[in-house]
Structure 1
Amino acid sequence: MTAQTVLVVEDEIKIANIVQEYLEDSGFKVKVIDNGLDVVDWVKKHSVDLVLLDVMLPGKDGLQICKEVRAFSQVPIIMLTAKVEEIDRILGLELGADDYVCKPFSPRELLARVKALLRRSANHNEHLNDDIWQMDEERYQVRYQGKTVGLSLVEFAILKLLSESPGRIYSRTQLIGSIYPDNRVVSDRTVDSHIKKLRHKLAEELTDKELIHSVYGVGYKFEMLA
């Protein structure tokens, strides 16, 4: 089995060395970058399975890097942050991070988070590639295990965005920006209303599983749980 590659973006050499040692001892390949300016280009040119991304970096901070990477890649990202304020954690998730770990952290806990996120990502990709979940962009329909449900244009756009990145949390602002590219003024309540109708259709006509989950204080994510 080919070893998975983890990119560690951390400018504190002691922390980077400890994380690299733990990951390599667990069978991962590790690349360490200590300057924020070098990260985005490296991710574009190399295959990587997960990114551990420090928030405070020289050259370019982790939040900006996360935003830029998300413009072209859905690679799992775990933010490493010394900031403990809730707003900082939420901002990282809104920009597309999948998880965060606050410093100081236990290397064992970090390793467990890495393995859990990689398992989750692999399981969801397997589900979505098994021809049991299909989205028809011409008819605005979704098919699951032989059943089909028709959606409105907005409902389809929401579901497509969420399901393409299982487990990733999208804020209401991100959803609005994606489904209304003309920058019209739309309230959070409008998004919640679309989500409510979408959930109802999926539950009533497609599956009794809850596929779209609320993340309190942040937004929504797609989880195809067994």
Structure 2
Amino acid sequence: MTLATYLESFGYRVSECDTAAEAEKLLSEQEADLLIVDINLAGKDGLEITREQRARSEIGIILLSGRTDDVDRIVGLELGADDYVCKPFNRRELLARVKNLLRRTLAMKHLSRRVFLFSGFSFDVPQRSLVGPDGEAIALTRAEFELLRVFVVNPGVVMDRERLTQAITHRNGAAANPRTIDVLVRRLRRKLGDDSRQKRIFSTSHGEGYVFTAMLE
């Protein structure tokens, strides 16, 4: 039984492509919720497909590889893959990963259609834009955008560095330094004018992480 047939037996609608060109054509014609991509595709490899698809959308991406080299895994995760599975793999384990990833990405897709208002700021997630109280646009790097997004969808919740790291590296923080979060939070505070002495947007939970404390309108 092929992997596609196995997944279809659990109710998933699966399309198969042998090359990167076929996959790109299919994705241009149909919307997919999740990609399972073999690194060793004919034409563009799976890493290139991952980079291009991640730049376009928040689609779930699981990379498959017959190599156990950490370099491929780290590069794949840095490029935006959500998960990395080495061959040979247990199909039931892969199925569990597919279920978990679909649950997370579909929930995020729903939240990503929202515009969040707080402390005079307008954070438009679909447009990936942040506008200040003065009506001026505030430029955000990709990591700053991802971090602010995970904060606004979890107001009042203590977010530890590991969880925040997973957010900016697409839910798998194995390839990132958690201390990067401290730098990014400082950048966001500076861009949002959040006084470190009288915090109105972000608070530090010492020994745990950070909390988004602004009131959402």
TM-score (norm. length: structure 1): 0.59
Compared CA separation, residues 205 and 18, structure 1 to 2 (3 A): farther
| Aligned AA (1:135) | F
Q: Which of residues 75, 96, 103 in structure 2 aligns to 1:112?
A: 96
Compared CA separation, residues 155 and 100, structure 1 to 2 (3 A): same
* Conservation of the 8 A alpha-carbon contact between 2:20 and 2:45: yes
Equivalent position of 1:53 in the other structure: 37
Q: Structure 2 CA distance, aligned partners of 1:153 and 1:193?
A: 20
Structure 1 ranges of 4+ moved more than 6 A: 207-210
Compared CA separation, residues 208 and 25, structure 1 to 2 (3 A): farther
Structure 2 runs not aligned, ≥5 long: 151-165, 210-217
Q: Structure 2 CA distance, aligned partners of 1:205 and 1:153?
A: 18
Aligned residue for 1:104, secondary structure, equals: coil
Q: Structure 1 CA distance, aligned partners of 2:98 and 2:147?
A: 22
Compared CA separation, residues 163 and 56, structure 1 to 2 (3 A): farther
Equivalent position of 2:110 in the other structure: 126
Are 2:145 and 1:160 equivalent residues in the alignment?
yes
Are 2:128 and 1:139 equivalent residues in the alignment?
no
Q: Which of residues 186, 189, 204 in structure 2 aligns to 1:197?
A: 186
Compared CA separation, residues 202 and 28, structure 1 to 2 (3 A): farther
Q: Which of residues 53, 59, 65 in structure 2 aligns to 1:81?
A: 65
Q: How many residues align?
A: 168
TM-score (norm. length: structure 2): 0.62
Aligned residue for 1:30, secondary structure, equals: coil
Aligned residue for 1:28, secondary structure, equals: coil
| Aligned AA (1:160) | F
Aligned residue for 2:14, secondary structure, equals: strand
| Aligned AA (1:70) | R
Structure 1 runs not aligned, ≥5 long: 1-16, 142-151, 172-187, 215-226
Q: Which of residues 78, 93, 100 in structure 2 aligns to 1:94?
A: 78
| Aligned AA (1:140) | G
